[in-house]
Structure 1
């Protein structure tokens, strides 16, 4: 764009210089051109806006009967998750410390990147509708749950319950982050979601009700190395 504008500027300077135009133009306006440059951008914006609003409406409309409902509560500087249903599972999710990698089997930095990996990931089944309820602790500050790979970003506000949804079409480990400045450790509040098969999810959920660490280790043993990793900068799902 810069080069294109520069070329136009040079052409205008050369073509309309004083030496080439001893008698200046008396043109004050051109009605046809003015109508075109006013109407054309409006039509272009309408062409962009109509499908955009349709997409926003689809994104904000909560599907009926979601397969999984998870409540995410933000606190300085971690996420707490609660699975609703008969097999209730709840846990805190902290950024993975370098000193804890070996203990929980997450030495692979490519799969569990620094500043993005967590000790306990959210686990969801592939191809299923996941309803996400997002809030923050009553005495905390505003946070934001952002998972670019799923196209979601929603504020976590104390005393308010926001909701959104997603449906992951590929298995894998996906990373996001808190995207609302929330204090000195804002940069150390990652989000990790592991998408697995229905069978793997059912097995993990049953085991996690009594032994979360054991359930996570068993799940990692079956999925690590098989699926792609999506980071907060990668918006492909």
Structure 2
């Protein structure tokens, strides 16, 4: 088992393939993680890690609300009970031992409860299990590179509408048509990519994340994962998706002028569909290099 160093410190796409694989990358599952007008809150959890984080957030929200309500009521009671009109002769004292003990022990108890629930969630994220599939993720200015070392597959992933895909960072009719052709809607501009990470549902995925130039951050909110991509270092994250679909994320570390145009898409498919995708991907990307897509297209022509 590989353990992320934080534990020690605390305790001591659609993927462009051919044939059937291309159809799978475009047609399987729901699209998750896009903004919805008028909605608030988290994206629907698709992993145990995400559910744990949602539960922890809800618990902290309740604790915070109770504390705010208690302090507000206490202030109002003091204002009403001890104002100059109601209390013409104020008491003169400097200490109240029971109250001082209470306001010392109660916050300690609250922090112990929060720690008892939050540390297991943190450890679950940072203890990297043995994965069924290992994927190397490299952040570039401004796109992502992916490698499946065990399968000999490597490809890059650009936002549809970037110059590398024939766009100009604008939602033009041509870009909207590219989105539709790729199985997206025009409203998913800035979210959709020309290739996707494809993984099978119910399998443990381990990702080694690094950066090639500056610090980036690989994030899929519905999976409950976020890991900085630091040049010269490889950090790991893991997830096990519980449902099929396409899940959107974004680079979450300011990495330069085109940081806003560096989305992430992960396609979760069934085991059978994954094997079919692999067959096409091995042919499409078996000899691919992690060079910019524009270079690969030029060499193909």
TM range (shorter): 0.7 to 0.9
Q: Which residue of 2 aligns with 1:56?
A: 122
Cα-to-partner distance string for 1:165-216 (whole Å, 9 max, x where unaligned): 111011011011100000011011001000000000010011111136xxxx
Matched, 1:73 2:138: yes
Whole-angstrom distance in 2 between the partners of 1:198 and 1:107: 21
Whole-angstrom distance in 2 between the partners of 1:4 and 1:37: 13
Taking structure 1 as reference, are residues 11 and 36 closer, same or farther at Cα in structure 2, changes over 3 Å only? closer
Q: Equivalent residue of 2:111, what SS?
A: helix
Q: Equivalent residue of 1:79, what SS?
A: strand
User: How do 1:41-52 residues align onto structure 2 when only pairs under 5 Å count?
Assistant: 41-52=107-118
Deviation at 1:106, TM superposition (A): 2.7
Cα-to-partner distance string for 1:6-31 (whole Å, 9 max, x where unaligned): 55444422321223222211132211
Whole-angstrom distance in 2 between the partners of 1:166 and 1:176: 14
Q: Structure 1 length normalisation: TM-score? A: 0.80
Deviation at 1:123, TM superposition (A): 0.2
Q: Structure 2 length normalisation: TM-score? A: 0.64
Taking structure 1 as reference, are residues 34 and 155 closer, same or farther at Cα in structure 2, changes over 3 Å only? same
- The range that moved more, 51-60 or 124-133, is 51-60
Moved over 3 A (4+): 1-11, 100-104
Correspondent of 2:160 among 78, 86, 96: 96
The answer to which structure has the higher helix fraction is 2
Matched, 1:18 2:84: yes
Checking the alignment, whether the CA contact within 8 Å between 1:68 and 1:84 is kept in structure 2 is no
Whole-angstrom distance in 2 between the partners of 1:172 and 1:106: 15
Correspondent of 2:98 among 32, 38, 42: 32
Checking the alignment, whether the CA contact within 8 Å between 2:142 and 2:258 is kept in structure 1 is yes
Q: Which residue of 1 aligns with 2:210?
A: 135
Q: Which has the higher contact order (CA 8 A, sep 6+)?
A: 2
- The range that moved more, 92-101 or 116-125, is 92-101
Cα RMSD over matched residues?
2.1
Deviation at 1:136, TM superposition (A): 1.0
The answer to which structure has the higher strand fraction is 1
